[in-house]
Amino acid sequence: MTRFFAQILAALVVLTAFPALAQPVDTGHLVAELVARDATVTPGATTYVALRQKIDKGWHTYWRNSGDSGEATRIVWTLPPGWTAGDIVWATPQRQPTGPLMNYGYHDEVLLPVAITVPASAKPGETVTLKAAAAFLVCEEICVPEDAVLTLTLTVADGLAQPDPTWGAAIAKALADAPGPAGLTGVFAKQGASVALAVTGAALKGVDLSEAYFFPFDSSILDHAKPQPIERGPDGLTLTLTPGYAFQEGAGPKAMSGVLSLGDKAYEISADVGALPAGASGLGPPPKSSGGDGGSLSLPLAAAFAFLGGLILNLMPCVFPILAMKAASLAGHAHDRRAAQAQGLAFLAGVLATFLALAGALIAIRAGGTAVGWGFQLQSPPVVAGLALLMLAVALNLSGVFEVGTSLQGAGSGLASRQGLAGAFFTGTLAVVVAAPCTAPFMAPALGWALTQSAPAALAIFLALGLGFAAPFALAAFVPGLLARLPKPGPWMDGFKKLMAFPMYGTAAWLVWVLTIQAGNTALARVFAAAVVLALAAWLLGVAQRRHAEGGKPLVLTGLGAALSIAAIAAAVWPSYGGPQVASTQPAKGGAPTVPYEAYSPEKVAAAQAAGKPVFVNFTAAWCVTCQVNEKVAFATQGVADAFKETGAVYLKADWTLKDAVIAAELAKHGRAGVPLYLVYGAKGGDGVILPQILTEGLVVRALKDAQTR
């Protein structure tokens, strides 16, 4: 009898059960809620609860592998005793090209089901509340970390589970459409600069493969932004993929897994390294629909980014001295239109030639297997020593110790001489050399994209960068209205020229400081000795020039000065330097507040995340002017020091002053060709969030506090 009444009671519960109750939460750019497949759940059974995201128009969230940037959605469950939650069943992602980057995620609406196991001890008739803390990175042109605490009430009942009238069918469809195993066999092989992935199996026979695309689970396996040409075979297909930085480590990965999307169908696949099936070359031409996802748009967008970056580069502090010199030179020709235009074109030619020369050297070095990026030349102590002496020579010239070409006092008389045009060309070259330590906004993604492309595409990006950098002065030379506003030539120009010598002395001193970090204190004595010899040579050349102007014979002095210059440069750049200085990880006593840091390694990031701590990684270099400005403005403040203490964040520095393959690979992973790069990892794991290249104290503090909760 008791059992009979229990059955009646259970039946009544089923008949009168309300749909699962949940409360949506608007996080700012999406509405999140927990929705259930079943209106009632059965003891000992498994049900599904989905995280529903209703995303604002134009915004998106991310898949488990977010691609080149972004961060996957995360869920932390709080469940009644005995209840357990499985992993997220990820829907097939959509490709989200963002400039030169390729991300993976969702827009509009997505359901992410999670298996919930009900304990056998659950009592029919009771209601339970499931709680989930969800964290999202929601992006449009900017990215906003958002989170929500969600709850869902379920009713326990005997018998078969009853589908939820609102969400039951939708969740069932999401589960059916989610990628799953289909008996496919995968194998991949490295072939030159590409990776061929061959997939075979009955599920691919007779299927349209024109929209095939491989989404890897591991973000380091592939270059996500590159096209994936398809070659159809008798038993499947072969995708030609561009390898990511994981293939730069030793022999590369032994296996890779992911989702093979065919448009309306998607399957999970796992491939091992090995020999490709017969006929699967992976080298055939791509079909009309290659799955490249708009790859043809990458070059114009990257070129536009590079041009904007070049324009902004003129505002960076490292190029102010050179641009001031160029402005004074242009003022000297302001009232001679033809001379001004010739000067502007010569400056443009010097900028473009130097950018292309740097690009050619960079491409050649990378083709030889060495991981280098923008500013690579400043990672070489001999080059830094040579540049320090070059800046010293320029400063001595500006100070009037010796002359190169026509002096500024006479620059306004008549057309520019050949020496004057050569001087304008050299000024363009020098401007690029001193701009090399800087990375302006928009430059980083453009250069990161360029260094993964073919040589012609990469050279096109550097050409666009040079055009943007030279545009203000080159255009000013052709705009009469601007030229008319410049002051007339006069004695003031000689004083201004000598004033500009002091920033160049400062640049030389800064390069010497970089050299001591790279090569130790022994380099200091060598470069100082070379500087003294070079200064003597410059003085002798100046004496010879003045004697020649007076009708004397300066041949001996000229030859001696040239010999001393060569000796000084040879002594400075001779490539036998001691080891680098090791930076202290402890804060200095007194002075501005500092934050203790450790040297970066991927293992330290993983260990800190495993311990539940936020991580701030600062990719920097001593020769990076932007990095050093950020150090003073954004890091050496009491507010930032307090934020690190309050959040318990681990501070890691990835010092790229000298070449480092691990750092170069991590920069490439995030689509960067140089520093600075700032990554903030949340305390609960996941990928790092990229901060802007120009930092403020408030931005760093806010990023650390956000990382504490995600």
- pLDDT for res 470: 84
Q: Is the pLDDT of residue 708 over 60?
A: yes
Q: Which two tokens stand for residue 384?
A: 């830094």
Write the burial class of residue 41 (CB in 10 Å: 0-12 exposed, 13-18 middle, 19+ buried).
buried
Other CB atoms within 10 A of residue 702 CB: 14
| pLDDT band, very low/low/confident/very high, at 619 (cuts 50, 70, 90) | very high
Question: Measured between alpha carbons, how far is 420 from 413 in angstroms, rounded to an integer?
Answer: 12
Q: Residue 174 in contact with residue 92, Cβ under 8 Å? A: no
Angle at the Cα of 584 (from 578 to 524), degrees rounded to 5? 35
Q: Residue 671 in contact with residue 690, Cβ under 8 Å? A: no
Q: Which residues fall within 8 angstroms of residue 699, CB to CB, at 6 or more apart?
A: 634, 691, 692
C-alpha separations of 185 from 197, 206, 257, 460 in Å: 10, 17, 11, 40
Phi, psi (degrees; rounded to nearest 5) at 321? -60, -45
Q: Which two tokens stand for residue 645?
A: 């203490």
- H or E element that contains 272: strand 266-273
Q: CA Rg, the chain, in Å? A: 32
Question: Measured between alpha carbons, how far is 417 from 406 in angstroms, rounded to an integer?
Answer: 8
For the chain, domains (ranges, CATH) are: 2-177 (2.60.40.10), 185-293 (2.60.40), 298-573 (no CATH), 598-708 (3.40.30.10)
Question: Measured between alpha carbons, how far is 231 from 236 in angstroms, rounded to an integer?
Answer: 9
Question: Measured between alpha carbons, how far is 324 from 329 in angstroms, rounded to an integer?
Answer: 9
Question: Measured between alpha carbons, how far is 468 from 116 in angstroms, rounded to an integer?
Answer: 56
- 676 upstream amide cis, omega within 30 of 0: yes
Other CB atoms within 10 A of residue 688 CB: 22
- H or E element that contains 191: strand 185-191
- pLDDT for res 488: 65
How long a stretch of residues is the chain? 710
User: What pLDDT, in 10s, does the model give residues 103-129?
Assistant: 999 999 999 999 999 999 999 989 999
Lowest mean pLDDT among 37-51, 60-74, 380-394: 380-394
Q: Which residues fall within 8 angstroms of residue 182, CB to CB, at 6 or more apart?
A: 201, 203, 267, 268
Q: Residue 63 in contact with residue 72, Cβ under 8 Å? A: yes
C-alpha separations of 197 from 214, 232, 258 in Å: 9, 12, 12
How, if at all, do strands 650-655 and 109-117 pair? unpaired
DSSP structural state of residue 73: -
Question: Measured between alpha carbons, how far is 665 from 246 in angstroms, rounded to an integer?
Answer: 8
User: What pLDDT, in 10s, does the model give residues 523-557?
Assistant: 777 788 888 878 888 887 887 777 777 665 555 55
Write the burial class of residue 585 (CB in 10 Å: 0-12 exposed, 13-18 middle, 19+ buried).
exposed
Lowest mean pLDDT among 96-105, 131-140, 148-157, 254-263: 96-105
Q: Is the pLDDT of residue 570 over 80?
A: no
Q: Is the pLDDT of residue 250 over 70?
A: no
Q: What single-letter amino acid sits at 485?
A: R
Rounded to an integer, the average pLDDT of 515-523 is 73
Q: Residue 348 in contact with residue 326, Cβ under 8 Å? A: no
Q: Residue 678 in contact with residue 653, Cβ under 8 Å? A: no
Nearest to 199 by CA among 271, 288, 140, 97: 271
Question: Measured between alpha carbons, how far is 91 from 371 in angstroms, rounded to an integer?
Answer: 36
Q: Residue 389 in contact with residue 569, Cβ under 8 Å? A: yes
Q: Residue 158 in contact with residue 10, Cβ under 8 Å? A: yes
Please tell me which residue, 680 or 539, carries the higher pLDDT value. 680
Lowest mean pLDDT among 323-327, 572-576, 595-599: 572-576
Q: What single-letter amino acid sits at 595?
A: V
User: What pLDDT, in 10s, does the model give residues 454-499?
Assistant: 778 888 888 888 898 888 877 777 776 665 666 666 676 677 778 8
Question: Measured between alpha carbons, how far is 101 from 672 in angstroms, rounded to an integer?
Answer: 10
Strands (E), 68-139: 74-78, 84-88, 94-98, 101-107, 109-117, 127-139
- pLDDT for res 66: 92
Please tell me which residue, 618 or 523, carries the higher pLDDT value. 618
C-alpha separations of 390 from 3, 187, 395, 650 in Å: 96, 54, 9, 40
Question: Measured between alpha carbons, how far is 311 from 288 in angstroms, rounded to an integer?
Answer: 37
Question: Measured between alpha carbons, how far is 283 from 197 in angstroms, rounded to an integer?
Answer: 11
pTM, whole model, 2 decimals?
0.45
Q: Which two tokens stand for residue 283?
A: 């080298």
Q: Is the pLDDT of residue 270 over 50?
A: yes
Q: Is the pLDDT of residue 7 over 70?
A: no
Quick one: angle between helices 320-332 and 418-435, nearest 10?
Answer: 160
Concatenating the DSSP letter of every residue in 621-649 gives -TT-HHHHHHIIIIISSHHHHHHHHHHT-
On the CB side of 563, how many CA atoms lie within 13 Å of its CA?
Answer: 6
